[in-house]
């Protein structure tokens, strides 16, 4: 049927024309392909294939690594059940198999705007499980059967796990089989960074003997092993690292030295003794107590915030500045007064006295309300003024606290409207003249001890 004998619409005519053009284009394309095939040079003859067995060895991909989610098998290696280990290892693939555990966790799905349950797979290996629990026999058997000593499924190697657990025998065995003492975990930590307990001291020794770098840094935080040991108050570790020329002035990403780390870590009064020993070793090795982090927070700020009087005294004796201000505008004295209520039994008055004797300026009267739970501290602070300030800050006192220390608070109210004694004003003048050298100068004076104590603001329960 022709378009001249049948009345087609304009749309139909356009479709017929396009179809005809497409058919012509396809015919031209096929003709061009045939001409190219006739003029193309013949391909070279393929080489003769090697024998079938050789082809299989060259072409066949290595078998995929075995995976195991059987908790019974996991427990076999975790608890060092050698009978079970021998049974499991009858399958050679289990030596380096991935041990997987699946955990269901709630994760936030922003595209859905809700929390959803998601499966998280954690990977480890038989060697890691055995090393983490210190099962030396199991570790030895796995290594004998060809376990990869530096494999790191889940982001850690068996050496990392052995150091975390403080299993020195496993560390020695792994190193003797070629474990890398400087291999970083997925989080950027070296094996030395995982020596974080007193039980891991021998592990650290073995790592250093095996060639580990004592000043190795974490990838992002830039922490050295000395930072980690100081932060945890590990005296033996600190001494060990210093004996291997650890950099006592190394700074982390926040600009803090190991001394900063040690002073911030001494949070519990019961642990202050071992931190004090570690701090003393750092100072003797050349640590600078005036080095501040990026927020200008010095070791003295940290020690005062933890209310550690002995650490404060050691820092001041080694040249720490008592009046330095951090980025928040706080002095070490401010840090102390903010925690007086938390450490009333740690004699915060001794720290306040030491700071004032080494150049700290008297605080604003508004700060006095923070030490009302420690009348001894309040006494030291009031004796640093030439006159007792008005007692508006006492309005916040609870009735129970006021009654408990009624005689002292009554004395404070009386002195607030009276001039101080000439003796006290002379004390203030002498202290002002000596400034930051007050403690060292007064300690050298050949005067009665009672006069020396008076000049150094020792508590006597009075406000003259």
Q: pLDDT tens-digit profile of 27-62?
A: 777 777 776 666 555 555 545 555 544 434 444 444
Give residues with Cβ within 8 angstroms of 239, minimum separation 6: 281
User: What does the chain come to in residues?
Assistant: 464
* Amino acid 397: pLDDT: 78
Extract the tokens encoding 369. Answer: 């309300």
Please list the ranges in the chain whose pLDDT falls under 50: 1-3, 46, 52-62
**CA 94 centroid distance within chain:** 35
* Amino acid 461: pLDDT: 77
Q: How far is Cα 367 from Cα 324, in angstroms, rounded to an integer?
A: 18
Closest by CA position to 238, among listed 204, 212, 273, 187: 204
CA 324 to each of CA 289, 329, 384: distance values in angstroms, whole numbers, following the listed order: 12, 9, 18
* Amino acid 331: pLDDT: 96
Closest by CA position to 350, among listed 272, 246, 243, 444: 272
* Buried b / exposed e along 153-175 (16+ C-beta atoms within 10 A): bbebbbbbbbbbbbbbbbbbbbb
* Amino acid 1: pLDDT: 46
Q: How far is Cα 360 from Cα 61, in angstroms, rounded to an integer?
A: 73
CA 149 to each of CA 136, 202, 294: distance values in angstroms, whole numbers, following the listed order: 14, 20, 40
Quick check: 284 and 238 in contact, CB under 8 A?
no
Q: How far is Cα 182 from Cα 192, in angstroms, rounded to an integer?
A: 8
* Amino acid 57: pLDDT: 41
* Amino acid 58: pLDDT: 41
How many other C-beta atoms can be found within 10 angstroms of the C-beta atom of residue 306?
Answer: 24
CA 188 to each of CA 159, 217, 218: distance values in angstroms, whole numbers, following the listed order: 14, 8, 5
């Amino acid at each position: 049927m022709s378009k001249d004998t049948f009345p087609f619409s304009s749309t139909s005519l356009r479709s017929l024309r396009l179809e005809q053009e497409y058919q012509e284009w396809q015919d031209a394309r096929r003709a061009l392909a045939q001409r190219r095939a006739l003029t193309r040079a013949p391909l070279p003859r393929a080489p003769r294939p090697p024998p079938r067995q050789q082809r299989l060895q060259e072409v066949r991909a290595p078998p995929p690594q075995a995976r195991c989610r059987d908790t019974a098998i996991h427990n076999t290696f975790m608890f060092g059940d050698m009978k079970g280990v021998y049974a499991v290892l009858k399958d050679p693939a289990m030596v380096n198999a991935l041990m997987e555990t699946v955990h269901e966790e709630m994760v936030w799905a922003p595209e859905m705007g809700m929390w959803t349950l998601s499966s998280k797979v954690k990977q480890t290996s038989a060697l890691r499980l055995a090393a983490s629990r210190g099962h030396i026999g199991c570790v030895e058997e796995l290594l004998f059967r060809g376990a990869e000593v530096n494999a790191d499924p889940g982001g850690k190697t068996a050496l990392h796990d052995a150091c975390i657990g403080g299993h020195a025998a496993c560390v020695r065995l792994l190193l003797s089989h070629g474990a890398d003492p400087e291999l970083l975990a997925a989080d950027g930590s070296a094996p030395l960074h995982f020596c974080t307990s007193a039980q891991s001291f021998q592990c650290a020794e073995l790592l250093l003997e095996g060639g580990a770098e004592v000043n190795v840094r974490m990838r992002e935080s830039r922490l050295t092993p000395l930072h980690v040991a100081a932060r945890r108050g590990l005296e033996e570790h600190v001494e060990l690292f210093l004996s291997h020329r650890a950099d006592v002035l190394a700074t982390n990403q926040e600009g803090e030295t190991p001394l900063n780390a040690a002073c911030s870590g001494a949070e519990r009064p019961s642990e202050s003794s071992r931190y004090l020993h570690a701090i003393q070793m750092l100072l003797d090795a050349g640590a600078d107590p005036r080095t501040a982090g990026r927020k200008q927070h010095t070791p003295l700020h940290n020690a005062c915030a933890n209310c550690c009087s002995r650490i404060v005294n050691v820092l001041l004796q080694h040249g720490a500045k008592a009046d330095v201000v951090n980025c928040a505008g706080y002095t070490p004295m401010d840090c102390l007064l903010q925690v007086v209520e938390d450490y009333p039994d740690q004699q915060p008055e001794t720290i306040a006295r030491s700071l004032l004797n080494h150049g700290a300026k008297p605080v604003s009267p508004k700060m006095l309300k923070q030490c009302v739970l420690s009348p001894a501290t309040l006494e030291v602070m009031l004796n640093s003024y030439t006159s007792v300030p008005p007692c508006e800050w006492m309005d916040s006192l609870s009735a129970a606290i006021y009654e408990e220390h009624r005689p002292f608070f009554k004395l404070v109210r009386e002195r607030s409207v009276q001039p101080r004694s000439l003796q006290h004003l002379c004390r203030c003048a002498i202290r002002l003249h000596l400034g930051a050298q007050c403690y060292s100068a007064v300690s050298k004076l050949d005067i009665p001890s009672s006069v020396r104590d008076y000049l150094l603001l020792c508590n006597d329960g009075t406000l003259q």
